[in-house]
């Protein structure tokens, strides 16, 4: 089989493999139509991970050198085919050269090759027509079944009849909040929470109330006190890889929160878009402890592809009509074309492969962050897409985020995660997956150098 040759590690391995491939095509060693080794075979031959080979093939595809065919493999592209620009994945967000560590998303180095194959498969499908027309009642049955198959990783008995499709997880939150609460209702969330919940609640005229958290997530005693004081309608909670603190709630606490929800007739929105990153499958979603009053929310945007704006709500039967009605009121229907593409990725197993690749990439980046920032206090998980950096004195979160940006690195200040105005926790959230590994190492080293500075204000 074809094996690339390089003499020294002068740049990341995946780039050297892509460069060697380009050279062998230019020299005639490889010709149009030649089939390249599988990811596994070449990884074993070179003693690297399959993810590294996937990145190399993806880079080669971006240069217009190869093309992937579903079920067949990767082939050298005919020279007469129009070549894609020789660009490389980058986390640099604008013309000012910022390295963007502000958005939690999967790494894009592996996406395009898988997506090309899925798009070809979608175009050639005999049942494509069903993805081109209007659909009501929360989505096509086949798309709901694919969503149920995805959800069964965490809720093994999930039935497709209880799935409602949405246009991503943020739309799912909008649907749930709009249909299950009314203006001026109190909605509970973590006292340090995802900014998307804050903006939604305020735009809908709901009163958002934060509940105290610790290193294990939402505190049951604080939840009980909030229920007694505010008589809330809903609880929005992230129990696994909480954003931004990265906490994973233990089983006993999930049981306690479910019991409190029953006691106070509280509906739970279990926002589990990071559940796929849990270290073991033994963490049952919060929705599993109180299924009769819980809406389980997930999507493919974080685990597979950000542009695949398909989310899945899994709800008890008595809530389904309200949720489906709100989907129609807000967007009429999620795109059936996107739903079909998502279903193909799930049913073919490619979504699982992409998920595992992202987990491997996240683990490597977390280790990199630990090596560079390890002497500081950070909250992370082995496979998380982000970390929380607690700042030493005299830093404040807004001050550090501002100075980091002025030095070419964008992070998110702790003040952005507060549902009520109060003193911001002294930290910043750092997302790790957007840039290349080299860019990430450079950005993290910059942040470490700022933290080591004896007098921060001298840098203004």
pLDDT of residue 158: 96
pLDDT of residue 87: 45
Please answer whether residues 95 and 53 qualify as being in contact, where contact means their C-beta atoms are separated by less than 8 angstroms. Answer: no
92 or 243: which carries more pLDDT confidence?
243
Angstrom distances, CA of residue 156 to CA of 136, 239, 314:
26, 18, 12
What is the Cα Rg of the chain in Å?
A: 23
What's the chain's average pLDDT?
88
259 or 130: which carries more pLDDT confidence?
259
What would the pLDDT profile of 160-179 be if each residue is shown by its tens digit? 999 999 999 999 999 999 99
- pLDDT category at 91 given cuts 50, 70, 90 is low
- pLDDT category at 86 given cuts 50, 70, 90 is very low
Q: Is the pLDDT of residue 84 over 50?
A: no
Does residue 394 have a cis bond before it (omega within 30 degrees)?
yes
Q: Is the pLDDT of residue 70 over 70?
A: no
| Residue whose pair of structure tokens reads 């958290």 in the numeric block | 213
pTM: 0.78
| Residue whose pair of structure tokens reads 């909008």 in the numeric block | 174
Show the tokens assigned to 23. Answer: 């050279």
Residues 15-19, mean pLDDT to the nearest whole number = 87
Residue 355 C-beta-side C-alpha neighbours within 13 Å: 18
Q: How far apart are CA 303 and CA 105, in angstroms?
A: 8
Q: Is the pLDDT of residue 253 over 90?
A: yes
Residues 352-364, mean pLDDT to the nearest whole number = 87
Beta bridge partners of 137: none
Q: Which of 66-80, 241-255, 404-418, 428-442 has the lowest mean pLDDT?
A: 66-80
Residues 78-89, mean pLDDT to the nearest whole number = 49
C-alpha angle with apex 295: 429 to 206, nearest 5 degrees?
Answer: 65
Residues 255-284, mean pLDDT to the nearest whole number = 90
| Residue whose pair of structure tokens reads 């004896």 in the numeric block | 454
DSSP 310: -
Residue 173's closest CA among 301, 292, 288, 277? 301
Q: How far apart are CA 314 and CA 298, in angstroms?
A: 9
358 or 457: which carries more pLDDT confidence?
358
Burial class (CB in 10 A: 0-12, 13-18, 19+), 95: exposed
Which of 58-62, 264-268, 421-425 has the highest mean predicted lDDT (pLDDT)? 264-268
| Residue whose pair of structure tokens reads 């599988």 in the numeric block | 38
229 or 124: which carries more pLDDT confidence?
229
Show the tokens assigned to 347. Answer: 């049913």
457 or 423: which carries more pLDDT confidence?
423
pLDDT of residue 113: 65
Residues 247-255, mean pLDDT to the nearest whole number = 95
Residues 259-271, mean pLDDT to the nearest whole number = 97
Residues 48-53, mean pLDDT to the nearest whole number = 86
Q: Which of 56-70, 141-155, 179-193, 321-335 has the lowest mean pLDDT?
A: 56-70
Please answer whether residues 284 and 254 qualify as being in contact, where contact means their C-beta atoms are separated by less than 8 angstroms. Answer: yes
Residues 412-428, mean pLDDT to the nearest whole number = 86
Show the tokens assigned to 143. Answer: 């798309």
Q: How far apart are CA 398 and CA 171, in angstroms?
A: 29
Show the tokens assigned to 141. Answer: 């049955």
Residue 100's closest CA among 409, 389, 407? 409
- pLDDT category at 120 given cuts 50, 70, 90 is confident
Positive or negative torsion for Cα 335, 338, 342, 348: positive
pLDDT of residue 85: 43
pLDDT of residue 423: 66
Residue 120's closest CA among 112, 110, 109? 112
End-to-end CA distance of the chain: 56
Please answer whether residues 166 and 323 qualify as being in contact, where contact means their C-beta atoms are separated by less than 8 angstroms. Answer: no
pLDDT of residue 457: 53
Give residue 64's region: left, alpha or beta (phi > 0; psi -120 to 50). left
Q: Which of 38-47, 65-74, 213-222 has the lowest mean pLDDT?
A: 65-74
Angstrom distances, CA of residue 119 to CA of 42, 49, 125, 296:
25, 26, 10, 29
DSSP 415: G
CB burial readout 364-398, b (16+ within 10 A) else e: bbbeebeebbeeeebbbbebbbbbbbebeeebbbe
Write the DSSP string, 240-287: BS-TTT--B--HHHHHHHHHHHHHTTPEEEEE-TTGGG-SSTT---GG
C-alpha angle with apex 362: 359 to 365, nearest 5 degrees?
Answer: 155
Residues 95-110, mean pLDDT to the nearest whole number = 83
Q: How far apart are CA 456 and CA 460, in angstroms?
A: 8
Angstrom distances, CA of residue 386 to CA of 145, 303, 362, 380:
31, 13, 9, 7
- pLDDT category at 47 given cuts 50, 70, 90 is confident
What would the pLDDT profile of 230-240 be if each residue is shown by its tens digit? 999 999 999 99
Q: Is the pLDDT of residue 282 over 90?
A: no
Find the helix or strand (DSSP H, E) in which 410 lies: strand 409-410
pLDDT of residue 294: 98
Q: Is the pLDDT of residue 459 over 50?
A: no
Residue 2's closest CA among 32, 51, 41, 55? 41
């Amino acid at each position: 089989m074809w094996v690339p040759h390089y003499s020294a590690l002068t740049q990341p391995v995946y780039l050297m493999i892509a460069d060697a491939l380009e050279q062998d095509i230019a020299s005639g060693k490889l010709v149009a139509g030649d089939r390249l080794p599988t990811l596994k075979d070449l990884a074993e031959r070179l003693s690297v991970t399959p993810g590294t080979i996937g990145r190399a093939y993806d880079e080669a595809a971006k240069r217009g050198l190869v093309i992937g065919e579903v079920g067949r493999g990767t082939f050298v592209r005919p020279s007469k085919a129009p070549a894609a620009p020789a660009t490389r994945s980058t986390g640099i967000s604008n013309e000012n050269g910022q390295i963007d560590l502000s958005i939690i998303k999967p790494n894009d180095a592996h996406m395009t090759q898988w997506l090309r194959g899925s798009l070809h498969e979608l175009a050639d499908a005999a049942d494509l027509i069903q993805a081109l027309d209007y659909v009501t009642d929360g989505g096509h049955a086949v798309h709901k079944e694919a969503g149920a198959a995805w959800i069964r990783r965490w809720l093994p008995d999930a039935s497709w009849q209880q799935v409602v499709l949405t246009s991503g997880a943020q739309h799912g939150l909008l649907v749930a909040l709009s249909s299950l609460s009314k203006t001026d209702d109190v909605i509970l969330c973590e006292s340090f929470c995802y900014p998307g919940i804050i903006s939604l609640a305020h735009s809908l005229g709901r009163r958002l109330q934060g509940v105290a958290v610790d290193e294990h997530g939402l505190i049951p005693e604080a939840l009980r006190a909030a229920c007694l004081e505010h008589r809330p309608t809903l609880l929005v909670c992230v129990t696994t890889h909480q954003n931004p603190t990265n906490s994973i709630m233990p089983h006993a606490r999930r049981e306690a929160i479910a019991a409190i929800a029953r006691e106070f007739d509280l509906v739970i929105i279990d926002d589990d878009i990071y559940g796929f990153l849990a270290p073991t499958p033994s963490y049952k979603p919060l929705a599993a402890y109180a299924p009769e009053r819980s809406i389980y929310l997930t999507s493919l945007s974080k685990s597979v592809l950000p542009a695949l704006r398909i989310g899945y709500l899994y709800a008890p039967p008595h809530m389904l009509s309200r949720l489906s009605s709100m989907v129609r009121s807000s967007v009429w229907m999620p795109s059936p074309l996107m739903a079909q593409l998502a279903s193909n990725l799930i049913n073919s197993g490619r979504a699982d492969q992409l998920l595992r690749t992202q987990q491997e990439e996240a683990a490597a980046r977390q280790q990199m962050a630990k090596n560079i920032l390890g002497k500081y206090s950070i909250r992370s998980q082995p496979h998380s897409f982000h970390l929380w950096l607690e700042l030493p004195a005299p830093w404040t979160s807004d001050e550090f985020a501002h100075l980091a940006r002025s030095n070419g690195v964008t992070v998110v200040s702790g003040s952005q995660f507060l549902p009520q105005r109060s003193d911001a926790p002294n930290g910043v959230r750092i997302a790790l997956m957007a840039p290349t590994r080299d860019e990430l190492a450079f950005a993290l080293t910059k942040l470490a150098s700022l933290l080591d500075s004896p007098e921060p204000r001298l840098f203004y």
